[in-house]
Structure 1
Amino acid sequence: MTAETLNFRQSSALPYVRAWLLGMAALIFCMVIVGGATRLTDSGLSITEWKPLLGAIPPMTEAQWLEAFQKYQQIPEYHLVNKGMSLSEFEFIYWWEWSHRFLGRVIGLAFFLPFAYFAVTGALSRSTAIRCGILFVLGGLQGALGWYMVASGLVDRVDVSQYRLAAHLSLATFIYGAILWVAFGLGLKRHVPETGQQWLALLIAALVLLQIAAGGFVAGLDAGFGYNTWPLIDGAVIPKGLFVGEPWWRNMFENALTVQFNHRNLAYVIFLLVAAQAWVVRSRASQMLLVAVLGQVALGIWTLLWAVPLWLGLAHQGGALIVFAAAIWNLHRELKGQRMAVLRHVKA
């Protein structure tokens, strides 16, 4: 990392910039939870159009509600799953999807307006401004990816593609982690991993992100509603039917049994690595991460055994983000270096 100094204005603004970024991370956390509720209530296909601006206004009259309902009645999900549903039942699923999209718009404004202010007033260092600009672009791409996901369920399907769902969830999680990474590192110089324990911290953070992506496939295939036993799965440690599909690799993404099996076992791997690091390093960050992982494992087993009730499914999804935040913090503490020097402008 190149050496960088902060001027006095940038140094004074650090607490405010950090609070803004942490607030954005909290909003994204809420966004993911609302997205999970949208998925678990089968609400994601209720709005069949993407209107980035006008879509912020929900139906206001009975005629507008009927028009939105008629558009929903033209897609396969209505005919094959919800045929005969009432207007009030449609309004219930509509409000979930509308809330999810509206929160996305709020997040866009809550990021852009302070970002523009901080950039114009010189409160951001060059590197921080570049990182925040990249995050804003990624946020826009996330919105487009969300519509790409929804579009996959409007023709020839009664739900969205699990591939696109996992991609949508993974990008949201990556943005969430990246915002935390920038917030934690404000005013500090961090170095690249050099020791084994630092590389391990990086590996753990990457595996947690991979596990969340795997959870996206579990959600996309409704894999959590089957094989609701633990520790055995379908009556065995290694069940039959893991690779019944051809070619074999498609089972990793399209076979509900294989997807759930992989999600379970990756959780065990993460737990062992985190426990080993906490035992060796004995830092507060590694111990916090271990507590978060233990809680998430217990929550995951509970969610599975109870066949994913809405509140438990959302708690498990929120727990995943807490684990990822703890993994990012743990990595930050391992790579934390010295504080940047502050240059004061002195008038002659």
Structure 2
Amino acid sequence: MTSFLRSDRSRPVAIWLLSVAFLVFAMVVVGGVTRLTDSGLSITQWKPITGAIPPLTEEGWAREFAGYQQIPQYKLVNPDMTVDSFKSIFWWEWAHRLLGRLIGLAFAVPLVVFLVRRDIPKRLIWRCWGMFVMGGLQGAVGWWMVSSGLSERVSVAPERLTVHLGLALALFVMLLWTGLDAWTGAPRLEDRSKWRPWSLAFLGAVFFQCLLGALVAGGDAGLVYNDWPLMNGSFFPAEYVGSSFWNTVAHSQGAVQLHHRLFAYALFVAGIAVGVMAVRVRVLSSEARALGVAAAVVVTLQAALGVATLMAGVPVWLGALHQAGAVALLAVATALAWRVRRV
């Protein structure tokens, strides 16, 4: 029995995975601040190793600033920026990239140790390798995103930002799910009730709403139509249609904000329904019922925070808090979907 339990679950592995999930949470929030402060294009080169060391001399700062002066964002948006003001945006992007490097080390080093020690449950090894690949891919996707703003744009392409955030959130969900599996072991009896598909659908809806939010952030769509519940006095924004279907769904500020609003309403209703059903359906475990109620509470707080952020004109601190709330809701939805699998 002891041998079976050791191969089926590992508390040290669970703590490792959940700790890395927390670091990814922090990474997403720092990334949000980087976007809100227009800091993401301050480092114009991708140096995975040497880039961890910031400029240490005035000559080094001059070189970094000279690189930034070559891109459209400086020429068209910040032509009066000085080296000192450049440092304020540089540090946010540097911190974001440094945190990404730390996450890579925090995942890769323990992974090797746990594999050598054979501490990782066999059924979870493939997932760990998959997350390792996703983490490495995230660095490349991040540079692919940044490169979109270095030649013809003054900011990164919204669709590339959405891919970058989506990959980070997918990794976050996998870390949480796998960490919980490592903590408790495989389910001895799985719940085959209708709650399982509905909880997964709710998780998918939260994830999709996060992607819609990324399009809003990438297109600075939160800086327009700052009234609520209408949009400049109308339900349907006047400037909705772009030059093409893709420009409408990904680049039109009116369209992406309207889509984010409408889906937020649907998600709010779904979250309340989950909470009510969790209380009324007695076949669920007490943990699942608590998570259902938590989903209703967090979705309500997140909806209110979204309205406040919009109407305040997206100040940095509110925007960052709204993004943190989105990841918190995703965490609750993930835990709920994971828990209802088990009777």
TM-score using structure 2 length: 0.92
Q: Please list, as runs of the form range in 1=range in 2, the aligned pairs for 1:165-314 lying within 5 A after superposition.
A: 165-186=161-182, 187-189=185-187, 194-242=192-240, 244-282=241-279, 283-314=289-320
- Any idea what SS the aligned residue of 2:119 has? coil
Equivalent residue runs for 1:7-156 within 5 Å:
7=3, 10=6, 14-156=10-152
Q: Which has the higher contact order (CA 8 A, sep 6+)?
A: 1
Deviations 1:188-215 (A, max 9, x none): 2288874332211111100111110111
* Structure 2 gaps, min length 5: 280-288
Structure 2 equivalent of residue 323 of structure 1 = 329
Q: Unmatched 5+ residue regions in structure 1?
A: 338-348
1:14 deviates by 1.9
Corresponding residue number in structure 1 for 2:285: none
Paired letter, 1:199:
P
Q: Which segment drifts farther, 196-205 or 285-294? A: 196-205
Residues 200-249 of structure 1, C-alpha deviations (whole Å, 9 max, x = no match): 1111100111110111100011000111111112212233332x324345
Structure 1 residues 40-72: Cα deviation after superposition (integer angstroms, max 9, x where no partner): 111111111001111111111111111111111
Q: Is the 8 A contact 1:10 1:122 kept in 2?
A: no
Q: 1:124 to 1:232 in 2, by over 3 A?
A: same
- Number of residues of Structure 1 aligned to a counterpart in Structure 2: 332
Kindly, what percent of the aligned residue pairs are identical?
Answer: 43
Q: Which runs of 4+ in 1 moved over 4 A?
A: 190-193
CA RMSD of aligned residues (A): 1.8
After superposition, give the CA deviation of every residue in 1:81-128 in whole Å (9 maximum; x if it has no partner): 111211111111111111100110000001111111111101111221
The one-letter code of the counterpart of 1:78 is Y
Residue identity opposite 1:270 in structure 2? L
Q: 1:190 touches 1:335 (CA, 8 Å); kept in 2?
A: no
Q: C-alpha displacement at 1:17, in angstroms?
A: 1.3
Whole-angstrom distance in 1 between the partners of 2:296 and 2:53: 44
- Alignment partners' CA distance in 1, 2:78 and 2:163: 27
